[in-house]
Structure 1
Amino acid sequence: MNIFNFNPSDLMSFYLTFFRVSIVLFMLPFFGANSIPNMVKAALAVVMTIAIWPQVSFDGSLMPANPYNIALMILGELVLGLTLGIIIHVIFSAIQTGGNFIGVHMGLSMVNVLDPMTGVNEAVTAHFLYMCSILVFLSMNGHLYLISGLVDSFKYIPPGEIFINDTLVYQIMTISEELFVLAVKVASPIIASIFVVDLALALISKMAPQMNVLMLGFPLKIMVGFFFLSMVFSILSIFIAEFVHTLPAYMLNIIKAASPLDMPPLK
């Protein structure tokens, strides 16, 4: 007699849901940052699994029967998390690249700071724009769209069965090709202004060779760069807003492209 009405299939379904949440979610930005303690990540994964499981989950019969297949399933979940994370990393990598362009032209390329989320040294202007873009992204509920994309993956991709095809690769490459275009758009106002300053200094050095143009140029470039950097924030907010509005469609297209042909029934 089953006193507690225990169903092993429900337990396997909960485990499959927990695998998807704990692996895929923390491969995404913000949730998987190194600055977040592991205990907090584990607690968040359990809470989100409990919240998602009654609404959308996998059938318990999809749990692999041997450890080898379980390892393959976990590998597939890792690939799915990396695929979805590319969409988000592209926009912030573009902003960081634009910030590095700005730092080089302002003469601040040697002033580096350590990014606590990635552990990489970058120019101070790149880190500053990166942190501002994160604040704008979170203020527009971009993290909620990431959770929504995770939930949509339950409807289209079975556990560990991501389907890598030409359509998926093409969509990822289409999103990635916007990296340097967006970086140039972010850095173009400062690059243009610094170019005008360099041109003016070149004319001054020709007209008045006795002036120390080198000592005059460094503070002038920094001053002009910071002036136009304040104008970049409005442009940056527009780019982030457009990206957040199109993020659900991007993630849904990627998930559908990675979906296998035969979909198993959901719980």
Structure 2
Amino acid sequence: MDVSFWWTFLLVFVRITTFMVTAPIFSGRQTPALYKIGFSGVLSILCVGMIKDPIHSPELGTLILLILKEFIVGIVLGMTANILLYSVQLAGSLIDLQIGFSMANLFDPTFETNTQLTGRMQNLIAVLVLLSTNGHLLLIKGILTSFDWIGIQASVPAGVDGRLSAFLLQCVVQMFMIGFMMAAPIIGTLFIVDIGLGIIARTVPQMNFFAVAPPIKMMIHFLIYIFILPSFFYLLRVLFETMFQSMDSILKIMGG
């Protein structure tokens, strides 16, 4: 192992580590930071031998620019996958806002944010489905494949012409679309229930509306949720396919 090995290892380690701290599953606090660093180091050692253009004693200014580039590549790849997975939490937050569960916030270690009950449950289901379908292996394959598209000494031309920012905005749009699709059946049903309860409250003013409405909405929420659960798994498949296709597209854009 000569000097070029260690310079190349440093740049590979920066890209993989920044990906690990932003990508789904790996970025949560349920994975200790020591494990993330150790796993990134092992992957970096295995990956250095496949680098076609190793670094040979770069100058200080060149080294800083290369480290910054590797940092940006890892962050963009991880955030592209994480942004799309946020749609699961968005759907749960919209549902809980409609049903009244938004007052009960829980800390979600997967996204390191406060989320509601339904959002927390959907996050757990999404992570379990991603693990059961070997999605974590595809995420690792994605960051390792990035070295074929974006070499250690290569630049990122897409950061200048605006294609990168335009694609990230498109990922945000897809996140909202998938999140609304996941929440639409329950939100629509609860909206109709609110209209019916409003009519009943006007026709029977003696009834205590605030004591009757929440249990009815909760019961209907869980019944509808059980009924549409198969469609949720279908939307998860669409979400994961979109996530991996977006990672492939972002590699082609940045390596373009």
* Alignment TM-score, normalising by the size of structure 1: 0.85
The one of 152, 162, 165 aligned to 2:156: 162
- The answer to whether the 8 A contact 2:193-2:217 is kept is yes
What amino acid sits opposite 1:168 in the alignment? L
**What residue identity is the alignment partner of 2:77?**
L
Is the partner of 1:27 in helix, strand or coil? coil
Is the 1:100–1:109 Cα contact (8 Å) retained in structure 2? yes
1:169-184 → structure 2 map (5 Å cutoff): 169-184=165-180
- Cα distance between partner residues in 2 of 1:239 and 1:64: 47
User: Is residue 28–residue 111 contact of structure 2 (8 Å, CA) maintained in 1?
Assistant: yes
Of 227, 230, 243, 1:231 maps to 227
Matches within 5 A, 1:239-258: 239-258=235-254
Name 1:46's counterpart in structure 2: 41
CA drift at 1:230? 2.1
Helix, strand or coil for the counterpart of 2:207? coil
CA distance in 1, matches of 2:255, 2:20: 18
How far is 1:128 from its partner? Answer: 1.4
Between the aligned partners of 1:206 and 1:249, the Cα distance in structure 2 is: 51
1:191 aligned onto 2:184: no
Q: Distance in 2 between matches of 1:190 and 1:219?
A: 15
Residue identity opposite 1:233 in structure 2: L
Structure 2 unpaired stretches of 5+: none
Measure the CA separation in 1 of the matches of 2:198 and 2:189: 14
Amino acid at match of 1:205: A
Residue-by-residue CA offset, 1:198-245 (whole Å, 9 max, x unaligned) = 122122223322222221101101111111122343222112212333
More helix by share: 2
Percentage of matched positions with identical amino acids: 27
Aligned-CA RMSD value: 2.2
SS of equivalent residue, structure 2 residue 98: helix
Report the secondary structure of 1:121's partner residue.
strand
Structure 1 runs not aligned, ≥5 long:
1-5, 261-267
Which residue of structure 1 aligns with residue 55 of structure 2?
Answer: 61
SS class of match (2:103) = coil
- Following superposition, the deviation at residue 250 of structure 1 comes to 2.1
**Is the 1:115–1:122 Cα contact (8 Å) retained in structure 2?**
yes
How far does residue 112 in structure 1 lie from its aligned partner after superposition? 0.6
Contact 1:9 1:59 in 2 (8 A): no
Equivalent residue number for residue 94 of structure 1: 87
Moved more, 248-257 or 10-19: 10-19
The C-alpha deviation readout for 1:120-177, integer Å capped at 9, x for no partner, is 2221211111121111122111111111111221012133733313222222222211
- How many residue pairs align between the two structures? 253
Give the distance between the partners of 1:248 and 1:92, measured in 2 at CA: 11
DSSP-derived class of the 1:101 partner: helix
Instruction: For residues 53-101 of structure 1, give each alpha carbon's deviation from its aligned partner in whole angstroms, at most 9, with x where no partner exists.
Output: 33x22533366321x4333322222211221123222222111111111
| Aligned: 1:119 with 2:108 | no
Letter of the 1:143 counterpart: H
Larger radius of gyration: 1
Tell me the distance in 1 between the aligned counterparts of 2:101 and 2:244: 36
Q: CA 1:85–1:231 in structure 2 vs 1: closer, same or farther (change >3 Å)? A: farther
TM-score (norm 2): 0.88
